[in-house]
Structure 1
Amino acid sequence: MYTTLISATDLAAHVTDSQWVILDCRHDLLNPDAGSKAFAAGHIQNARFASIDNDLSGAKTGPDGIFRGRHPLPERAALIETLRSWGVSDDTQVVGYDAHGGMYAARLWWLLRWIGHPAVAVLDGGLAAWQAVGEPLVLPVAPSARGTITERPSLTQAVSVNEVVANLAIQARTVVDARAADRYRGENEIVDPVGGHIPGARNRFFKDNLAADGRFKDATQLKAEWTPLFASAPQAIMQCGSGVTACHNLLALEVAGLPGAALYPGSWSEWCADAARPVATGAG
């Protein structure tokens, strides 16, 4: 069972395995149709397309009319139904991939663990690694039998905006922002209406989890880089712009042997939507 990362070589050996489901998570925050168009132009054999906006996120506005961020968590029942439509059952090995170093596939990884499914991994190095070992991309979309996955006890933690607000006063948890340093500082913000970061948050750009070849750094190096950011991983909160790339940091922590940090799903997009919440700018 693969629970964090899988190599291109190992995945290639299972593309026709009926107990495996491969999901293409390619996406572009500024061009929502880019992922589906890329999938239509060529994908890993037997893969299905998983839309970050439509399949791996829920409604942006809750029943109370309050904005929940750009990529709020989907309803659990809706996610279960989507996974079943892709052929996922309780004994299925799920593998997600993208063309962005796991930037989007990590969201799938976290969501599967959120509903209690441990057998989920991210293709290490993504499509670049797949093609580097000589594996092809194909055009046909293979049919799939309906799956029977059920919800089980969650393997992850999530915190609400109110919990993050409460943490401002006591600083019991270290908040880590996965966005690029310029956006963290409040510069060059092109996605959200307000630039800056949650007061007290520290910055760890998700791409810093990757080696020069686009694969994740090894566990020893990741642990050495992450440990100084907080005293105890279970007391940390991971966030980003909309709860997507924060999952990349959570995956890195799992690889490093530092599990237990929580995701703030609404992240900066939810936080900055209320002018009453404080905003920090600059390097710290």
Structure 2
Amino acid sequence: MLNKTAQFIIITTTLGVILTTTKPAKAATFTALNEGTVANTFTECINDGIALQVGKNPINDQGWQYAVDSFNDGVDGFQVGGAGKGYEIYSLALKETKDSIVVVINGNIPLTGIDGTRADDANIGWGDLFFNFTDKDFTTANNQGDLFGVRFAESNDSLVPNLGLYSNVTAISTTDINSGFDNLEDYNIRVNDACQGAGCGPSLGDLAADTSYFDQSQSLNTMGSGEFLTNIMYLSESELLDAGYDLNRFDGEHTIAFKFNKSGICDRGYCTSVPEPSAGVGLAALGLIMGFNSLCKGYSD
């Protein structure tokens, strides 16, 4: 049987090996896209829109979650729906990494909008992208300054000055200067009355067209004000492929992709901390320390 000196050497040597060869516990991971978070965007004239509700659909193996809009509810003048129509939105996808949120929008609207329209500036394009990390409806979050917004289309009529992510935003409507619908209810009525073909009917992706999340008497689609947080970075098709995005899943003519740093969201208390302790190593070390203490006690007896 080993004497106490030999036991002491074995315990201290083993403890030293564990503490020097084991990687330290990982720092906590912070997630912004928690269940219930809603992201949404509309066109400048509210002739189509889409919303993604986190948790509504599963996250795939590549970390993406998709909201799929009706392919037949975009309004183009007196025509509604149909592949190839200029204002059709197909999908909104989100992916969260350690540092960023990645956004991909697929539709028939180019990033620069559509020229030659009846808008005051002869261009109708994208509104802004809004994020609601609270459990409030859109109007309540807007009135209480809890919305975040992203201006991603430089040609749009947003009142914030630069492309990028903003906090404490106020959402406004730009439909009056873009020959658009006064409110969501009017959009729903037009689509219901005029659309034909498969999948006919208004849709907002993960939310029903008549959802109470939005005030149906309003048409809020753009930021009127906000506090600038960070720039956005556009992503190429090759970068999307590297990120695991399925470029062939949707038929929209344009895929708009960008990412932004999420630290400004976390700094304002909207992220959840997920700790990653190395519990097994801690227990092993604790056991050796207890053994060491017992051994020391034996020496003192």
TM-score normalised by structure 1 residue count: 0.30
TM-score normalised by structure 2 residue count: 0.29
Higher helix proportion:
1
Which structure would you say has the larger RCO, counting Cα contacts within 8 Å and 6 or more residues apart?
2
